[in-house]
Structure 1
């Protein structure tokens, strides 16, 4: 008996869904699936693409390499719109999709067994380590470090042990943090120093039981934000790609318009505060003390109008009274969203609120709070800097109705 079904939509994690509700991993809309054989056989349709990586789908870094770019951008847009009521928003901008080999930060794992060292990413939902030879996501500068790093770790990691690797591509070169790699003794220090010199690292740090120690700093790692070179702490939070950050900043700038007094909540190192300060006075607030301190220092040196405040916005959101006089507020919370701050904003008289989100579900909740408080969601900018992933980001503009 024939049982061939078409894939009609994708689930939030990227699995294909048939008209009768069956989920099929690695299927695209327009594919047909033959369920008369086991495992079910996918017959590719017009939206299906050959994966760009030989490690797909074993590596857990990507879920959607089997989609072509048009199908992937439609997935990104649908992923955002499905959490919003019909009719929101009035204007949806094109999806900003970061190109291959543009990822500027990555966290990898290393494991040595039987004298063989594996270096790569875990399979999704497991502890199985996929040893990667190449990654079509990572910037070439990061990929160039992997082969010599593999040789270093093979000599410095004991059999049966693992290590952590955090890589960040800065404007001054690669910033590398190694965890569970000993820097004790002259031989270890010389090996790590020689490696940093040979690979032209900007900085090499090691993390052990006592915390993080910078072993080699050949150049101070910085990233340009709004025309200001911002010194980076070890293993900093940065947007995943330069292209993604540029798209988010451009959207935030467009959303705030000509506002002259802006609050940037959950500001971090100043991703939005510094660009906005080029033409506005900015109140920058975050619970991360080192980040806001660093932002304050570079803003003063650059003569930018940025007033920084160290504050836990989850426990103590800015109140409507404290928000009085702000012409726009930008808030960019972690994945959990900012329910308490959204409620305070909903009770305020701020004319424009700009939400930046990396989680459509928490954004949908916070957006509902703002709309129930009298705001209209009138523009949405989707950003897909985690290419081939179900992880999507956005900028949304809310305007208070008179």
Structure 2
């Protein structure tokens, strides 16, 4: 990663409680030793000074004055959203592009070095652009007699009523105001979970906790779906999710192939991030003709890698497994979908003898048991995609100890302005092992 730049960020406003660059005389009268500079951003988003102090909402290069106020440095940006600092959806809007990239880079590289790992090559950071998040989990409740829909405040159960959002794709954000108007007609208390996902056919909306009483409310909900062009509406009224509206079967396109999308299934947060991760896997496994895709989900990587390779896609979630199977059949892809819980029953080392390469993308907990089998499998190339650098580093250490080389590491920040970081990595078995 390139060292910090020296350019100054533009400012619209910045409040620093009376001590900032607009008070140069005051700064000159202060002993230098009482002023500290932010050196880096910690994992949870706080700026860290040379003495180890953690300062909220501070960016690298900011100066912390004796009264605790912040003098903005060259990497401090004006947050674009009015809700920032209250809304728990973003933690890093005060960082400019360079500082944000550096944060993602540091999270990945420091996780590796913490386990004694060093990649032969660390690629450039890939950041997804603003307004690219295609899935979101929101909360809704009637606050003070009116509906409130949004993300929880940072460290609180209170909700921020979203009036703007710079991470969601416009199609998702555009549905929040109509949902607010729909809920305004309801009486009594409620607390709802709302999942919004942008699919090939439009917005898939799943609501948990909303009860429809009688024909009038049901018809009003169907009118809402029709008027706002929903691709699907799923309601959980206390007895499990049920589809109320779905004019056409819903799909998501993976590797150019439309694949059925079961409600609630895992999907990469942005198409941009999915493409970056998929491109890495495809590049690194370009010569492989047989590939095992572990924790495959709907087939996010299987559909990218299939043709010319033949892919075994192993997944524990039954709905996702069946969707992958159907998608492979409809699109005539050489993918064999395999229903298996890789936590309780990982593929054994001897099972990998027929594969040229492996790609795995486990949940945040990592894949300790499966990686232990991979480490002694002798498979030549392993692509490990991760949404948690800490569990990835723990698992990776087992591969290194078994004779693999961490050949390349690519940090990915598809959860823009969030402390949530992803990565793609390539492990290659040493010659002779």
With structure 1 as the length reference, what TM-score do the two structures score? Answer: 0.97
Residue of structure 1 aligned with 2:220, choices 187, 191, 200: 191
1:10-56 deviation line (CA, Å, top 9, x unaligned): 1111211111111001101100001x32xx10111000000011000
**CA contact 1:142–1:169 (8 Å) conserved in 2:** yes
Farther-moved stretch of structure 1 (272-281 vs 367-376):
272-281
Match in the other structure for 2:81? 53
Residue among 369, 390, 404 paired with 1:340: 369
Offset of residue 219 of structure 1: 2.7
- What residue number does 1:313 align with? 342
Partners in 2 of 1:236 and 1:366 — Cα distance?
A: 25
1:169 maps to 198
Write the deviation string for residues 371-395 of structure 1: whole angstroms up to 9, x where unpaired. Answer: 0010000011211110001101011
1:95-244 equivalent positions in 2, closer than 5 A: 95-156=125-186, 158-244=187-273
- The alignment of Structure 1 onto Structure 2 pairs a total of residues equal to 398
Partner of 2:360: 331
Moved beyond 3 Å, runs of 4+: none
**How far apart, CA to CA, are the structure 2 residues paired with 1:297 and 1:41?**
58
**Unaligned segments of structure 1, at least 5 residues:** none
Shift of 1:87: 6.8
- The answer to whether the aligner puts 1:396 opposite 2:413 as a matched pair is no
Report the alpha carbon displacement of residue 347 of structure 1 after superposing the two structures with TM: 0.7
1:296 to 2:325 alignment:
yes
**1:277-300 CA distances to partner (integer Å, 9 max, x unpaired)?**
122010110111111112112212
**How far apart in 2 are the matches of 1:50 and 1:177?**
34
1:64-79 matches, cutoff 5 A: 64-79=92-107
Q: Secondary structure at the match of 1:324?
A: helix
2: CA distance, partners of 1:307 / 1:63: 40
2: CA distance, partners of 1:124 / 1:389? 12
> How far is the alpha carbon of 1:236 from its aligned partner?
2.3
Alignment TM-score, normalising by the size of structure 2:
0.90
SS for the counterpart of 1:131 is coil
The structural deviation recorded for 1:220 is: 2.2
Q: Aligned Cα RMSD in Å?
A: 1.2
SS in 2 for 1:188: helix
Tell me if structure 2 keeps the 8 A contact 1:226–1:278: no
Provide the C-alpha distance between the structure 1 equivalents of 2:379 and 2:117, rounded to a whole number of angstroms. 23
Report how far residue 179 of structure 1 moved. Answer: 1.4
Higher strand residue share? 1
Give the unaligned 5+ runs of structure 2.
Answer: 1-29
Report the Cα distance in structure 1 between the residues aligned to 2:276 and 2:370, rounded to whole angstroms.
24
Alignment correspondent of 2:62: 31
Who is 2:8 aligned against? none
Matched, 1:286 2:315: yes
CA contact (8 A) 1:276 1:282 kept: yes
- Is the CA contact (8 Å cut-off) linking 2:117 and 2:397 kept in structure 1? no
CA distance in 2, matches of 1:235, 1:346: 32
| Residue aligned with 1:122, SS | coil
Please say which of residues 53-62 and 220-229 is displaced more in the overlay. Answer: 220-229
